[in-house]
Structure formats: structure tokens, C-alpha cells
Structure 1
Amino acid sequence: MLKEKLILNALAFKDANSGIVEQHRLLDWILSKGYRRLEIRREYMRNPSQEIALIAESNQKAQLELHYSVADKLFQDTYIDQSLIQDYMAEAKMLNAKSITFYLGDYRALSVKDKVFLQGLCNGSLAVLIENDQSLSGGKADKIEELLMICHENNIKLQMTFDIGNWIWTGEDAEKNALKLKPYVSNIHVKDVMIKDGCFSSTQLDGGIVDWKYFLKFFNGKNFILEYPCGMEPFDCIEHAYQLINEAMIESQ
């Protein structure tokens, strides 16, 4: 895999910035290391409108491919807050993002109103995805599959970011879920998960219990996003992960 193909998530830089990630300052840094793709995290923004403008301005020079993670629910209290989602979409378009990712949220059924809304939302140039989060309400495969199946039956191009580690929090089998959800998956959050004192936490590759190499092979050709904290020297950690990923992909050929 070329460096240009690997997507970095802003979470990688959180520790090195004392938890305050000014994402517009990452672009030139990332570019200087040979990477070309970044997933922006909205929850790191203290003033989203201001920071999105700064990122967009900085990226006029850097020209990275940006993806946008909102960290909010598509379904709020069983329905889609259409005004809120449209605001998030406008932010993604300001970033000229390739994709925008939501959590599923409180999905129960797809109403006619929400179906019509999703048809307009998902069938444009901006890819719209839902991610399996760590919650029991929005991170279960059956509900995610149900919505994605309904959408695709109605020509709604809603896609999925498959987080290989989050299934541990929900107590589900990641490999079984990969089989059922593969037709809808475009992006993969690549991480490992460690257990300490009965608690789970995301960690670097080969630092936990996830068979991440299996998912690289299974989802070969999809977008791989490196999504875990990378400590005080993030690029050392990222370079190590990049080497591990390349070795794993060569082994799987």
C-alpha cells in the first residue's frame, strides 16, 4: 500500500497535542511525511464554523483528501433531525470532504419522510456513511444491516464505516458481522483493542486482541483509516503501523 492510500484519523495526534487538536495545523505536517488523506473529527472543534474555515483555507495549499467524522447520531430519538444533518452536510461541503460519517443512533424503523430525506442526502457526490459505535443502541449489526438493506433496496446509497474494534464493546463477533455487512462497507477503521483491569481501550496494531490482519485481507480494496491514539510521537507510531499493514498485505497475497 502506498502512503497516499492510507487515511489518518485526527485521533492519532490527540496525545501529542495535550488533547487539544488544532486540525488545520496537521495538514502540512501530514503532507511532509508523505501521507495525503485525513479524517477530520468534529468533536475536537471548540468552534466548528471557525475551525472548518481554517481547515478549508489550509487545505487550499496542502490539497489533502479529507473525510469528515461527525461523532453524532443520524437518528435522534428514532427519527432524523433533518435540519441538524443538513448543517453537518454543509460543513462537510465546506471542507470539500469525500465522505461524512455518522453514528447510527436511535434507529427503530425508516419512515417515509426519512426515506425521502435520505434519498436526497445519499445520492450526491458526498458519500454518506454510518459507523458501528461502541453503544448497545447504535452499535449492533442487526440494526445497521436492516437500515442499509432497506436503503439499498430503495436505491439510497448509504454506506458504512466498519470499525473492526468497536464490536468488542458491543459483545458481537466482528468476523461474522464483516460477512453480513461487507456489501455496504466503504471505509474501515483499523485499530487494535487492549483489555486492562476489565476495561477496553483502543491501541496500536499488535497491542491487543483484534485479528486486524484478517480484516485487511477480507476488506482488501476498501479505504483503510488508522484510528487510535498514537502517543507523544505520533509519526513514529504511524510509520510503524504503515510497515505492519504493508507486511500483512504482502503476506495475504
Structure 2
Amino acid sequence: MTNAVEVAIVASAFGADAVRTAGHRKWAEASRRAGAAGFEVRRELFGYEADAAPTRLAGLGADIAQLGLWSVYSTPASLYTADGQLDAAALRRALDEAAALGARFVKLQLGGFADHADGDAIAGQLKGANVRLVVENGQLTQGGSLHQFVGLFDTLKRDGHADLLGMTFDVGNWAWCGVRALDAAVALAPYVEYMHCKIAAGEGARRFATAPAADDARFAAVLERLPRGVPRGIEFPLDAAAIHDDATRRVAWLAAA
């Protein structure tokens, strides 16, 4: 496929209950059958806390690699606490777990970043780590504002840490924070290294994640503003009644979009 982009499937796309019940291995296999290049492991979907133990993660990572997939390790933890301090313990735990899995990316929420990135401390934690740290825009105002992300990358650049970390750009999450995804794409494109592909439907408390239509011009405009080679993760719900067919179709579409 000419100019195809790598596509990963996020475990939650198969349904939270399905992943907690059957485990990540089953859905990594489903991702491979659908033609995906990667698979995102979600820490919050482990059936037991013991699933995050190093030996369990190493086993899961070996299974994913044997399928020919690369992995993302996603944790709901935030890089910064609510009062703007670096959460060094959360970062260390995420890095250790991602290393055990053998992940390409380790993804955290941004959290309460204000104006002090503490780049030296992050760099110290990342020293020797064979995994790329990315922070994601969330659905809450704290950790989901465009101003925060612009400020974070400006601060890191100013302090000599321009390449310290990257961004997971979640197209749909901006809607929860009242930000136009295209505006965010224009401002943050240089820092985006991984994408979560979905859009938001509904309004207010009734807003929910869904798949973009193949002819969704606004979604297409966002893709056009972001780097073409950035891997794209399917994070919208797949059709539970036809998982394989839907996943296969969506992977092929997103790879070529």
C-alpha cells in the first residue's frame, strides 16, 4: 500500500469488559489478524493488579512481539500532579512497566503542568530507557488545554530539552475541553509522535467517542496538519457483533487516509 501509515489498535476499542475478561493477549491476536502494526496495552484494563508485575508484562510483551506487533504501554497516571509538580514516582513506575513490556511508547496523561517542566529530572529518569515518553491530551480541563501543551513544549525547548518527550494527539478528546482539534493540530504538529483517532459525538454530559466517517472533512483536515508518518491508533469502539470485519476495514482505511 503506497504511503501507508502504521496503525495500532488500542485495547479499549474492543470493549473494556471484553479486555478485562479475556486479557490483552486475545485482542493483540485480533489486532494482528486485522492487519494492525501495533497494539496499545491499557494498564487500567488489567483484570488483576498482578498483571502489571514485571514477569507478567514481559510475557505479554513477548507474545505481542511474536505476533509481529510493536506495543504502546498506556497508563492513566499523570506526569504532573494537580499542583504542577513532576510526579517522579508515577513516571518511574510507568517507565519500569513499559520496559518490562518492551513497549515502543509509554503514554501518560499530562496532568497539572503549569509553568515548570522539571526537564532535568525527567531526563534523569529517561537515561538508559529504551522507550519513548509521550503525554496525551485528556478530557479534563487540567491536562487537556491547548495552552498547557504549548506551554510545556515551549518550556522544554527554552530549558534545552526540546527532544525530551513527545505527544499523543487525541483528536476526539479536544472536544471535551472546548478546543477545535484543527487549531490544536496547527499548534502542536511538530511534537506529535502518536495519534488516538476518534471523534466526539453528542454534547455535554452526553458526549461520547465514536468512529470518524470516511468522508469526515474535519477529521481529514486534522490528519493533513499532522506529520504523515506518525502512527495512528484506533481508539473508537469497534462493532462487537463483527469485530474482525470492522477492525480489518478500519485498519485499512486509517492506514491510507
Q: Establish whether residue 222 from structure 1 lines up as the match of residue 230 from structure 2.
A: yes
Deviation at 1:246?
5.2
Q: Establish whether residue 115 from structure 1 lines up as the match of residue 93 from structure 2.
A: no
CA distance in 1, matches of 2:13, 2:41: 11
Deviation at 1:79?
1.1
| 1:164-218 deviation line (CA, Å, top 9, x unaligned) | 1111100112111111111111111111221168611111222998822112222
Residue in 2 that maps onto 1:96: 102
Structure 1 SS opposite 2:103: coil
Deviation at 1:60?
5.0
Structure 1 residues 166 and 209: CA distance shift in structure 2, 3 A: farther
CA distance in 2, matches of 1:51, 1:128: 21
Residue in 2 that maps onto 1:193: 200
Q: Establish whether residue 167 from structure 1 lines up as the match of residue 168 from structure 2.
A: no
| 1:85-115 deviation line (CA, Å, top 9, x unaligned) | 111100000111011111110112316xx32
Equivalent runs, 1:177-192 vs 2, <5 Å: 177-192=184-199
Q: Establish whether residue 234 from structure 1 lines up as the match of residue 243 from structure 2.
A: yes
Structure 2 SS opposite 1:229: coil
CA distance in 2, matches of 1:181, 1:36: 25
Deviation at 1:61?
2.6
CA distance in 2, matches of 1:107, 1:209: 33
| 1:195-250 deviation line (CA, Å, top 9, x unaligned) | 16861111122299882211222222211111111131322222232343356x3x
CA distance in 1, matches of 2:218, 2:138: 18
Equivalent runs, 1:56-71 vs 2, <5 Å: 56-71=61-76
Asked if structure 1 preserves the Cα contact closer than 8 Å seen for 2:110 and 2:136, the reply is: yes
Moved more, 15-24 or 139-148: 15-24
Ranges in structure 1 where 5+ consecutive residues have no aligned partner? none
Identity %: 22
What is the total number of aligned residue pairs between the two structures? Answer: 246
| Alignment-mate amino acid for residue 80 of structure 1 | L
Q: Establish whether residue 129 from structure 1 lines up as the match of residue 138 from structure 2.
A: no
Moved more, 204-213 or 70-79: 204-213
CA distance in 2, matches of 1:151, 1:103: 17
Structure 2 SS opposite 1:211: helix
Residue in 2 that maps onto 1:29: 30
Q: CA RMSD in A?
A: 2.7
Ranges in structure 2 where 5+ consecutive residues have no aligned partner? none
The two structures have a TM-score, normalised by structure 1, of: 0.86
1:176 alignment partner, one of 162, 165, 183: 183
Residue in 2 that maps onto 1:9: 10
Moved over 4 A (4+): 1-4, 207-210
